[in-house]
Amino acid sequence: MATFISHSIAETAALGEQWGRAASAGWLVGLSGDLGAGKTLLAGGLARGLGVTGRVPSPTFALVHEYPGGRLPLWHLDLYRLTTRAEIAAAGLESYLCRPQGVVVVEWIERWLEEQSGPLAPGVRMRRVEIKIAGDAERRITYEDFGG
Ligand SMILES: Nc1ncnc2c1ncn2[C@@H]1O[C@H](COP(=O)(O)OP(=O)(O)O)[C@@H](O)[C@H]1O
Ligand SMILES: [Mg+2]
């Protein structure tokens, strides 16, 4: 388990960017944290680190955005509006949670994990990330790697 204290949106974006530069195919990054914690910002940094250009908006309404333009394809999901794993499956999103050819970033990953906290399935490499709001511009970002 690692901890990163961010003091600004730039620091959060830079952390994501660093992860994006190091990312390899088949990687899942699962984000948890309240509304406004910085999940979308971190995902945007990760996209940038993969070489994706342009805006990375919240996929709250679309549920999934695909970014094919980077070093690896990226899928960005937001499960906020879905509350159970059954609903996620019914929305056709389960197949996005494991993409061996690219990188997947999921906001509100706990919606999918439910009671599970460890590795999801054999061969899935996941970074489980928790963002806590610690002040106006301060965020406590903890993360742990599973699988692989
Ligand atoms: N250190 C920080 N890291 C990330 N976001 C921050 C930080 N400080 C303030 N913010 C603000 O928090 C909000 C995070 O928004 P967003 O990334 O959309 O959150 P989420 O996707 O978790 O709901 C933005 O309004 C941003 O300006
Ligand atoms: Mg968001």
Predicted local distance difference test score (pLDDT) of residue 120: 63
The answer to whether 13 touches 41, Cβ cutoff 8 Å, is yes
What is the tally of structural domains in the chain? 1
Mutation to probe ligand 1, out of 41, 106, 129, 136 (largest number of atoms < 8 A from CB)? 41
Q: Which segments of the chain have a pLDDT < 70?
A: 115-123
Cβ(74)–Cβ(50) under 8 Å? yes
For residue 85 the two structure tokens come to 């794993």
Q: Are strands 2-6 and 64-67 parallel, antiparallel or unpaired?
A: unpaired
Distance (Å) from CA 50 to ligand 1 centroid: 20
Residues with CB under 6 A from ligand 1: 6, 8-9, 11-12, 33, 35-41, 58, 107, 137, 139
Residue type, 71: R
Separation of CA 1 and ligand 2 centre (Å): 23
| Whole-number pLDDT of residue 116 | 58
Tell me how far the alpha carbon of residue 148 is from its chain's centroid. Answer: 17
pTM of the model: 0.95
Domain range holding 112?
Answer: 2-146
Cβ-based neighbour number of residue 9 at 10 Å: 15
Average pLDDT, the chain: 92
Residue 122: the pLDDT is 65
Q: What pLDDT score was predicted for residue 61?
A: 83
Task: Summarize pLDDT for 71-102 with one digit per residue, the tens.
Answer: 999 999 999 999 888 899 899 998 898 899 99
Pairwise CA distance, residues 77 & 97, whole Å: 9
Cα of 39 from ligand 2 centre, angstroms: 5
Q: φ and ψ at 69, to 5 degrees?
A: -85, -5
CATH of the domain at 37: 3.40.50.300
pLDDT at 121: 63
